[in-house]
Amino acid sequence: MSAGVISHQTAPMARDDQVYDAVRRRVVLFPLPFQGHISPMLHLAELLHARGLAVTVLHTDFNAPDPARHPEFAFVPIRETLPDGAASPETDILAQLLALNGACEAPFRDALASLLLGQRPPDPDVACVVVDGQWYTALGAASGLGLPVLTLRTESAATFRSMLAFPRLRDAGYLPIKDERLDELVAELEPLRARDLIRIDGSDEDALRGFIARIADAMRVSASGVVLNTFDAIEGLELAKIQDELSCPAFAVGPLHRMCRAPAEHSLHEPDRGCLAWLDAHPPRSVLYVSLGSVASVGPGVFEEMAWGLASSGVPFLWVVRPGSVHGTEGTPRMPDGVDEEVRSRGKVVTWAPQREVLAHKAIGAFWSHCGWNSTLESICEGVPVLAQPCFADQTVNARYLTHQWGVGLELGDVIERATVAETVRMLMTRREGDRVREKARQLKLQADQCVATSLAIDNLAQYMLSI
Ligand code: UDP
């Protein structure tokens, strides 16, 4: 491991008295307003607060977090005005991220400047700002106000590393991704193949490359530190390589939801807790949990194949079907004719689940997942093997690591087709191949537990925040 990585094994011991000197200093956080970004940022906030830092959360009105969940934090809306369509789930995610960055830069700067102006002793002064890694405009704005600013990466170290490598991948001919090179290993990013690199179907490749370049440039120019929601046991090599490329320290503080003693629920939707009682009625490891996260959606044809595949697998399942998660449907998508009966006898469909509790439930045998990074960490921490159906962005990277690096998942394949679905589900849930993957998942969970029990990374981060 290179000298600068402040992670679990290499962490210098933080003395308690040093950490608790943090009392009466403030950290200002600015989460990106999506489920997979709000949760890790607020978990980081909980951990910093527990180490004596006061916390202010600046936030957009769009997908605003619920202040009632954290009376101990100050919540300040930046009062942005978004262009038409920018907040709509129908809008392409890249266009949404570009619009959010454009529209929030000035209101974020103004809100932060007012906060600084309003600061009066004995108020805690602002030690530093932490912005989500995708807020490249906010990163520059906070630094422009003279504040140290850190960036929270809510994706894996492998994904972040691939983002840093993007300009080189173009020179090496991997980008734009070519059909004939899809299965080629990317020389500097193994085990990733060209097909695993970040992509957003339907989005312009140049726009994606431009977006990633802005993120990397802003970070290189303005960040005093990089905080990653990952840990050495799963990504030690990737972390070391990242540190070699950065001139500021990287802190591997994950898995954030497990580092919190009693992590608060930060759901933007009301979870259907009835599914926990439904799970109680099932034998251990018998149920397949199916969820494609908070953003991904599928076409009606894929939805139908998923439904029929589940129905004919013979395996009990708990399926999260979000309103709007099938293209062209406004509300909650209807089950295809004929599948309803199967669902009533062997399955349960909900619009939103208390996912962490579901994955921790003994009845869960595997997780059919889109492989978002939070879902990936949550399944690793519960020792639940994964059936990988990556949809876009970093999900292909995570799927590759789950299936090939850590060996805790099986691929569902590019084409979702009912017979393959049913066969792969049965393989994972009921056959020896599934047992092998499940055993690896169990071992990886033990490593995660060990990391959680011994990590000093958050203490070191808090200490660093007070020193810059
Ligand atoms: N989640 C949940 N209930 C659901 C579906 C998802 O609580 O029914 C949570 C899940 O636990 C995770 C987050 O939503 O923390 C999704 O984040 P992830 O990075 O996995 O995917 P994204 O939604 O960002 O694509």
List pLDDT tens digits, range 34-93. 999 999 999 999 999 999 999 999 999 999 999 999 999 999 999 999 998 888 877 889
pLDDT for 20 equals: 46
Find out whether the beta carbon of 46 lies less than 6 Å from any atom of ligand 1.
no
Is residue 246 domain-shared with residue 315, that is, in the same domain? no
Residue reference for tokens 């977090």? 65
Name residue 305's amino acid. Answer: E
pLDDT computed for residue 7 by the predictor: 47
- Residues 64 and 159: their CA atoms lie apart, in Å, by 26
CA–centroid distance, 35 to ligand 1, in Å, is: 6
2: which 2 tokens? 């290179």
71 and 201 inside one domain: yes
Q: Please report, for residues 171, 217, 242, the alpha-carbon distance to residue 161 in angstroms, rounded to integers and kept in the order given.
A: 16, 14, 6
The CATH number that applies at residue 298 is 3.40.50.2000
Nearest to 457 by CA among 132, 39, 13: 13
| 112 and 171 together in one domain | yes
CB atoms within 10 A of CB 167: 14
Residue whose structure tokens are 């990952």: 230
Q: How far is the CA of 392 from the centre of ligand 1 (A)?
A: 14
Atom of ligand 1 nearest to the CA of 369: 20
SS3 category, 289: strand
355 pocket-lining for ligand 1 (C-beta < 6 Å) = yes
Residues 282 and 420 grouped into a single domain? yes
**In angstroms, what is the span from residue 371 Cα to ligand 1's centroid?**
10
Q: Which helix (H) or strand (E) holds 449?
A: helix 432-454
Domain co-membership, 171 together with 75: yes
- Whether residues 193 and 210 share a domain: the answer is yes
Q: Which of 8, 43, 59, 132 is catalytic?
A: 132
pLDDT tens-digit series, residues 138-161: 999 999 999 999 999 999 999 999
CA 293–ligand 1 middle distance (angstroms) = 4
Provide the domain limits for residue 215.
5-266+453-467
- Judge whether 435 counts as a catalytic residue: no
Indicate the helix (H) or strand (E) that contains 56: strand 54-59
Mutation choice for ligand 1 from 375, 386, 389, 395, CB with most ligand atoms inside 8 A: 375
Distance 36 CA to ligand 1 centre (A): 6
Q: What is the pLDDT of residue 264?
A: 78
Shared domain check, 345 and 280 = yes
For the chain, the domain total comes to 2
Domain shared by 289 and 258, yes or no = no
- Mind listing the pLDDT tens digit for each residue in 297-353? 999 999 999 999 999 999 999 999 999 899 888 788 888 888 888 877 899 999 999
- Whether residue 251 has its Cβ less than 6 Å from ligand 1: no
Backbone dihedral angles phi then psi of residue 130, each to the nearest 5 degrees: -120, 120
Residues 347 and 440 in one domain: yes
Structure tokens at 12: 């210098």
pLDDT tens-digit map of 259-302:
998 877 888 899 999 999 999 999 999 999 999 999 999 999 99
Q: Say if ligand 1 is within 6 A of residue 385 CB.
A: no
Q: Is 37 a catalytic residue?
A: yes
Statement to judge: residues 12 and 138 lie in one domain:
yes
Q: Please tell me whether residues 38 and 87 are part of one structural domain.
A: yes
**Whether residue 242 is found in the same domain as residue 324:** no
